[in-house]
Amino acid sequence: VSEHHVDHRGGQTRIIVDPGASSDLASYAALAAPDHRPVAIIDANVARLYPDLLPSVARLIVPAGEAHKSRDSWAALTDHLLEMECDRQTLIIAIGGGVTTDLAGFVAATFLRGVPWIAVPTTTLGMCDAAIGGKTGVDTASGKNLVGAFHQPRAVIADPNFLATLPDAVYRDGLAESVKHAAIFDEDDFAWLDAQVDAILARDPEVLAELVAASCQIKATMVTEDEHESGIRAILNAGHTIGHALEHASDYLIGHGQAVAFGLIEEAVIGESMGVTATGTAEALGTLLAKFGFDTTMPPSVDESRYRAALRSDKKNRNGKVRAVLLRRIGAVARQQDGSWTWEIVAR
Ligand SMILES: NC(=O)c1ccc[n+]([C@@H]2O[C@H](COP(=O)([O-])OP(=O)(O)OC[C@H]3O[C@@H](n4cnc5c(N)ncnc54)[C@H](O)[C@@H]3O)[C@@H](O)[C@H]2O)c1
Ligand SMILES: [Zn+2]
């Protein structure tokens, strides 16, 4: 009943959002890549919690955690595939959070110069954000996501039932990107989120299916219009100029979602003071984000000077000026007259 199909890239990537879909992964795999032999690359916690997933499929386990989104993991996985004599008829099935789908997607992008893959996100962030859009890659000592490739999955199968076993902090942190998607693109979705806060926090699977489908739809629309990130896809960076600076200044002790939540609010405050963002936008964001349990003020532990230094080194900056995506109001981003999606801002 609650199966959602999200149109993405003219049907080249199928996105299915359906509580229970994970019991049907083998048929989705056969549909997505007929005549291919599936190999699952699975997050260790997911493999432990869901031992019955894809019983007859070879599985490679990725240890949990961002530290394993690495070139070492990529090397180990590709070596295993070679030892297993996998060929170009291999289909990679990535099952886990953003760490696993980024890593396994990059394996798929590079193994034998590219084999098809499908993404089975199992976290809020994975379903609402990371698994959509075809960005794959690994971290390096110099920074996150610096080595990677664009490689679209054939299908994204999101089963909200996976979210039941997520630790609370991980579950909530991913919701910030959903709020962001609604804030940049869909006022009705924003109002819907506000009305459904209790059901969302209670992890009602039907409500989660709607939340994930709405979020995927917005991200998929951006990506379809701008697959390689030259234009409108930039608006997905709303909240991220301030958010990244905060994460950096906290040595990544602050979760990404918490950082983005604060970034959305703070960028709206700045936008309002510039007369770009409608009055009341920051307050609306703060009210909703607080209901989801996010802190809406700058954490006292963050070092001001490191925060400012991190802002100055943001990759969106031009001519040494800090730039950010600014909302016009809830549900719409402000575009400059020259077509640019970012604005020069002065941090408070
Ligand atoms: N490719 C993109 O466009 C994109 C976008 C946003 C984020 N990302 C990437 O996503 C990554 C973060 O993803 P994440 O937040 O999903 O983190 P994650 O993959 O590290 O998962 C978080 C934790 O949850 C556990 N877990 C996963 N599913 C579970 C389940 N169903 N039940 C219980 N535990 C479960 C994992 O083992 C891990 O400990 C970052 O590396 C980020 O760069 C990528
Ligand atoms: Zn983000």
pLDDT in tens, 156-171: 999 999 999 999 999 9
Which runs of consecutive H residues, i.e. helices, occur in 111-204? Answer: 124-125, 168-173, 175-185, 187-195, 197-201
What is the CA(257)–ligand 2 centre distance, in A? Answer: 7
Q: Which pLDDT score, from 0 to 100, does residue 2 have?
A: 56
Instruction: Work out the average pLDDT over 122-130.
Output: 98
Provide the terminal-to-terminal Cα distance of the chain, rounded to the nearest Å: 48
Q: Which residues pair with residue 118 across a beta bridge?
A: 93, 155
Confidence of residue 214 (pLDDT cuts 50, 70, 90): very high
pLDDT at residue 316, as a whole number: 78
Show Cβ contacts of residue 198 under 8 Å, excluding neighbours closer than 6 positions. none
Give the position, in ligand 1's atom list, of the atom nearest the Cα of 102.
1
Average pLDDT over residues 129-139: 97
Ligand with an atom nearest the CA of residue 236: 2
The whole-number average pLDDT for the span 73-77 is 98
In the predicted model, what is the mean pLDDT of residues 214-222? 93
Reply yes or no on whether 272 is catalytic: no
pLDDT for 252-270, tens place per residue?
Answer: 999 999 999 999 999 999 9
Asked whether the predicted pLDDT for residue 1 surpasses 70, the reply is no
pLDDT at 312 over 70: yes
CA nearest to 179, candidates 101, 258, 234: 258
Indicate the range of 1-15, 57-71, 93-107 predicted with least confidence. Answer: 1-15
Residue whose CA is at the smallest distance from ligand 1 atom 18? 97
Q: Which two tokens stand for residue 226?
A: 């701008």
| 206 part of the active site | no
Residue 22 buriedness (CB in 10 A; 0-12 / 13-18 / 19+): buried
Q: To the nearest 10°, report the CA torsion of 305, 308, 312, 317.
A: 170
Write out the two tokens for 246: 């905060």
pLDDT score, position 27: 95
Q: Which of 1, 23, 25, 5 is nearest to 14 (CA)?
A: 5
pTM of the model: 0.95
Pairing status of strand 58-62 against strand 37-43? parallel
Ligand 1, residues 48, 53, 100, 102: which to mutate, most atoms within 8 A of Cβ? 102
Pocket of ligand 1 contains residue 257 by CB under 6 Å: no
Decide if pLDDT at 208 tops 90.
yes
pLDDT of residue 318: 81
Residue 227 pLDDT > 60: yes
What's the CA-to-centroid distance between 246 and ligand 2, angstroms?
13
237 among known catalytic residues:
yes
Residue 29 host element (H or E): helix 25-32
> 10-14, 191-195, 240-244, 259-263: lowest mean pLDDT where?
10-14
How far is CA 281 from each of CA 42, 236, 257, 267, 328, rounded to the nearest angstrom?
A: 40, 17, 19, 10, 9
How far apart CA 279 and CA 329 sit, in angstroms, is: 8
d(CA 125, ligand 1 centre) in Å: 6
Mean pLDDT in residue range 214-236: 87
Contact predicate 288/190, CB 8 Å: yes
Instruction: Check if 256 is active-site.
Output: yes
Report the C-alpha gap between 187 and 253 in whole angstroms.
Answer: 31
Among the atoms of ligand 1, which is closest to the Cα of residue 44?
37
